[in-house]
Structure 1
C-alpha cells in the first residue's frame, strides 16, 4: 500500500492537470521511511498540488517502533519544533481533515456536473465527426475561393490531432500511425458513484485490418478525494490479427549448438515488447511493498515512469485533445518546441 500511494503521488507530480486546485501537504511518515519512499526521494520530484489526506496524527512510540540499532534511521518531521509548536501543527492537521471532508463532497458533486455536461457535449462531438468524415455537407463558403479539389473527408483526423500533442505525439511510432489511420472517434466519460474516475473509448472503422475490436476502452480509477490521483488502470485486451501487433517486434536469436556440432547455425524468432502508444491498454500493475522489496531501483523507476506516462497521456486526451480536437489537428494549439521557438523569435526580434 505504501508503494502504491507514493507512486500515485509521483504520478500527480508529472500530470498535465493545469487547473487551479487546493494544495495539500505530502503525507508525513513518522519513523523509518519505507523502501518506496526512499526510492522516490532519489528518483522522483516532490509531489505538487493536492495529495491524499494525511493519516490521523499519532505521536510515535519510540519504545515500540525503534529497535536496537535503528535510532539513526528514525525521522521525526517535527524534531525542530518545541512542544507548543507541535501542538499547533497537530491542531492544524485537525483543520486539514475538515477541509478534506469538504473536498470529497466537492469532487463528488463535480463528477455529477461533468457527467451532465458530457451529455450536452455529445451532439457537438457527433457533428464534428460528421464533418471530418465527410458525411455532412458544408454549405458555408467561409469567403474561400474554390481550388478545384473535390470535397470529401479529412484524412487521418485523429492521427494528426494526437500526433500534434506535445505529450502524446512522442509515443506514437510509425507502426502506430498505420493503426491510428483507422481511428474514427474518441470519447470520454466521467465515472460517478462508488468508483470515481474517467473512461476513454476509441472507436475504429469496420475495415480496420489490424485487430478485430471495434472499440477499445481505457479506464482510470481515481482516489475519491482527488481528481488527479489515479489508483488503478485497466484497458481492453486487443485482439490483434496475425502479424499486426504493433506492441511487439520479432527478433532472431541464435540457438547455441551442442559442442562439436558444425552444422549450419540455427535461429529462433522471438516476439519481444517494443515502444507503442497501444501499450496503454495493457498497463503495468502498481507493485506492492512486498514486490518492491525484491525489485531494483531501476525496475521501480521503470514502473513509475510507465504509470506516469500512461496517466498523463489519458488525462491529456480527456481534458485537452477531445474538447479541442480541431485545433490539435491543425497544430495551432500545440506549444512551440525549443527549436521552433528559436527560429520564430530570433535574438533581438520581439
Structure 2
C-alpha cells in the first residue's frame, strides 16, 4: 500500500511538467501560439509523406484566395471533438446532438487530488461561450480506495476507483439535449375532455457522463445493472486520464490505437493463422482481416497540417 502511495506522490510532483506541455499544446490548438519550423519537423513514414504530397497538390489546385484562407487559419478547429471521435471508447458516448456542443470544447485537463486520506483525480472539460449552457468548465471527480480488501488482502493490486461525482450543467432554456419532452393527448372515458400530459424522458448523450446513476460502488444495495454502469464510467474516466489526455495529438491524427482495438486485431490475426493450411495458393499474399496491409486511400480531410502564418 505504501508503494502505491509513493507512486501517486511522484505523479503529483511531475504533474506540473505535464501541465506545461499540455498548456503549450492548448496554445497551438487555440491559435494563441504558432509552432516554429523546428517544432513542425517530424520523421514521417511513407504513408504520411504520400498524404502530405496529396495535400500539397490539393492546395496547388485551389484558387489563390482559398489557399490564402487555409494558410492564414489559426489554431486547430474541432480538435477535441475529433480526439473523442477517434477513440472507440469515447466515440460510443458521442451522439449526433452532442457534436455541435463539443465543437466548443477547448481543452480537457486532469488534476490529481488529495483530500485527507483520500486520493483521486478530477477531469476538467473547458468550453468556449456557446448557446447551450452557461458553464465554462464541467468537472468529473474520481476517488480511489487505497485500502486492501479486508477479506482478501493478498489480492490487493493497487488503488481502485470507487466513487465519482459529476457536476450540474446549467442548460439554457430549451437546449438540454440529455432529456426529451414527450407529449401525449389523453381523452376522458365518460366526458369529452381532452388533456395533454407532458413527460420528461432521459435520452442518450455524452453529457450524461456528468450525471452518473450513483456516485459510489460501496453501497451494498446496488443492482447489477447500476454496478456495470459505474464500472464502465470508472473505466472511461481512467482512460481519459491515463491515455486520451496525454496522447490527444495522436488520437487527433488517427495514429493512436485503443488497446481494445489492438487486442481484437491480434485475435483476428490468430484466427487467420489457424486457417493458413486451408488457404488456396491463389489467396496467399492477400491482406487478412484485421491486418495492417489493407490498401486504403488515406483520408486527407482528417490529416492536419502544421502551418505557419
Measured against the shorter chain, the TM-score band is 0.5 to 0.7
CA distance in 2, matches of 1:346, 1:279: 39
Instruction: Give 1:216-227 correspondences, 5 Å limit.
Output: 216-225=138-147, 227=158
Q: Please say if residues 112 and 122 of structure 2, whose CA atoms lie closer than 8 Å, have aligned partners that are also in contact.
A: yes
What is the TM-score normalised by the length of structure 2?
0.68
CA distance in 1, matches of 2:245, 2:126: 13
Match of 2:118 among 195, 203, 207: 195
Cα distance, 1:345–1:315 mapped onto 2, change above 3 Å: farther
Cα distance, 1:227–1:318 mapped onto 2, change above 3 Å: farther
Match of 2:205 among 263, 272, 276: 276
Match of 2:8 among 111, 117, 122: 111
CA distance in 1, matches of 2:250, 2:11: 22
Q: Please say if residues 254 and 267 of structure 1, whose CA atoms lie closer than 8 Å, have aligned partners that are also in contact.
A: yes
CA distance in 1, matches of 2:79, 2:86: 11
Alignment pair present for 1:322 and 2:245: yes
Point out the more displaced range, 330-339 or 227-236.
330-339
Cα distance, 1:227–1:345 mapped onto 2, change above 3 Å: farther
Match of 1:234 among 148, 153, 165: 165
Q: Please say if residues 179 and 203 of structure 2, whose CA atoms lie closer than 8 Å, have aligned partners that are also in contact.
A: yes
Q: Please say if residues 201 and 216 of structure 1, whose CA atoms lie closer than 8 Å, have aligned partners that are also in contact.
A: yes
Instruction: Give 1:10-29 correspondences, 5 Å limit.
Output: none
Alignment partner, residue 288 of structure 2: 346
* Root-mean-square deviation (Å): 2.7
CA distance in 2, matches of 1:235, 1:308: 15
Q: CA deviation at 1:244?
A: 1.3
Greater relative contact order (Cα 8 A, min sep 6): structure 1 or 2? 1
Q: CA deviation at 1:348?
A: 12
The count of corresponding residues between Structure 1 and Structure 2 is 234
What is the TM-score normalised by the length of structure 1?
0.60
Alignment partner, residue 233 of structure 2: 310
Q: Please say if residues 172 and 277 of structure 1, whose CA atoms lie closer than 8 Å, have aligned partners that are also in contact.
A: yes
Alignment pair present for 1:161 and 2:83: yes
CA distance in 2, matches of 1:258, 1:189: 57
Q: Give unmatched runs, 5+ long, in structure 2.
A: 43-51, 60-66, 148-156, 270-285, 294-309
Alignment partner, residue 303 of structure 2: none
Q: CA deviation at 1:227?
A: 4.8
Cα distance, 1:348–1:224 mapped onto 2, change above 3 Å: closer
Cα distance, 1:169–1:228 mapped onto 2, change above 3 Å: farther
Q: Please say if residues 197 and 227 of structure 1, whose CA atoms lie closer than 8 Å, have aligned partners that are also in contact.
A: no
Q: Please say if residues 106 and 127 of structure 2, whose CA atoms lie closer than 8 Å, have aligned partners that are also in contact.
A: yes
Match of 1:134 among 8, 31, 41: 31
Q: Please say if residues 111 and 191 of structure 1, whose CA atoms lie closer than 8 Å, have aligned partners that are also in contact.
A: no
Match of 2:190 among 260, 264, 272: 260
Q: Please say if residues 171 and 277 of structure 1, whose CA atoms lie closer than 8 Å, have aligned partners that are also in contact.
A: yes
Q: Give unmatched runs, 5+ long, in structure 1.
A: 1-103, 293-299
Cα distance, 1:183–1:347 mapped onto 2, change above 3 Å: closer
CA distance in 2, matches of 1:181, 1:314: 20
4+ residue segments displaced more than 4 Å = 141-146, 335-339, 347-350
Alignment partner, residue 106 of structure 2: 184
